[in-house]
Amino acid sequence: MIAFGIAIGGIPGLIQVDQMRRELQADTAQAQKLTDEARKQIVEAMGDAVEAKRQMDAAHADCQNAILGDSGRTVLVDVNHPYGPEIQQLLGVSLTMPPRGQLMIQVPQGPIWVVPRTITPHVVDGVLGGLYTHIWPNGRNDGWHMPSRAE
């Protein structure tokens, strides 16, 4: 009789344990579903970020090409305002300076500007006291030239 009472008393406990097990399985399935959805969203966001970075890099490269043109540089020198020693190295390129007195100018010793593309400067006000040269990516330069007068 005591065994029968224990068996009858244990049934509600077994029912409650089974109910808790089913709730745990349902919660676990829902958590797994949410985890899978979150992983899909993360993968999609990472893919979007990679694509956005690729597009940004392509736009940056296009912008650099537009700015730099042919990747050459133009060195401008004002010989009317000389100062300092002669320049022998610029941007890692050894520049051949014109001999003193050639073209009725001194060796470039004045202020220097480096333009990050190849341009052909022109003089507007008639002062022909400047020189320019182009430096190419392979280290070659064009030698010194006097700018022409702008029309």
Do 61 and 20 fall into the same domain? yes
- 63 and 77 share a domain? no
- Structural domain span for residue 3: 1-68
Residues 6+ away with beta carbon under 8 Å from 89: 95
64 and 22 inside one domain: yes
- So what's the pLDDT on residue 135? 85
- Together in a domain, 84 and 142: yes
User: For strand 122-123 and strand 148-149, is the pairing parallel, antiparallel, or unpaired?
Assistant: parallel
- pTM of the full predicted structure? 0.42
In the predicted model, what is the mean pLDDT of residues 1-25? 83
Do 8 and 62 belong to one domain? yes
Domain end (from 40, 68, 96) = 68
Q: Which of 50, 68, 86 lies at the terminal end of a domain, its last residue?
A: 68
* 143 and 77 co-located in one domain: yes
Q: Where are the beta strands (DSSP E) in 52-137?
A: 73-78, 89-90, 93-94, 112-115, 122-123, 130-135
Output the pLDDT for position 103.
44
Q: Does residue 112 share a domain with residue 57?
A: no
The structural domain count of the chain equals: 2
CA distances from 149 to 75, 104, 134 (A): 18, 17, 18
Other beta carbons less than 10 A from residue 113's beta carbon:
12
* Closest C-alpha among 23, 116, 38, 43 to residue 76: 116
Among 68, 101, 124, identify where a domain stops.
Answer: 68
Same-domain status, 58 and 96: no
Q: What is the pLDDT of residues 75-114, one digit of tens each?
A: 888 766 655 555 555 555 555 554 444 444 444 566 778 8
| CA 135 – CA 118 distance, rounded (Å) | 8
- On whether both 138 and 78 belong to a single domain, the answer is yes
Q: Are residues 56 and 22 in the same domain?
A: yes
Predicted pLDDT at 105: 41
Please report which confidence band the pLDDT of residue 60 belongs to, taking 50, 70 and 90 as the band edges: confident
57 with 4, same domain? Answer: yes
Q: Based on the domain organization, do 16 and 37 belong to the same domain?
A: yes
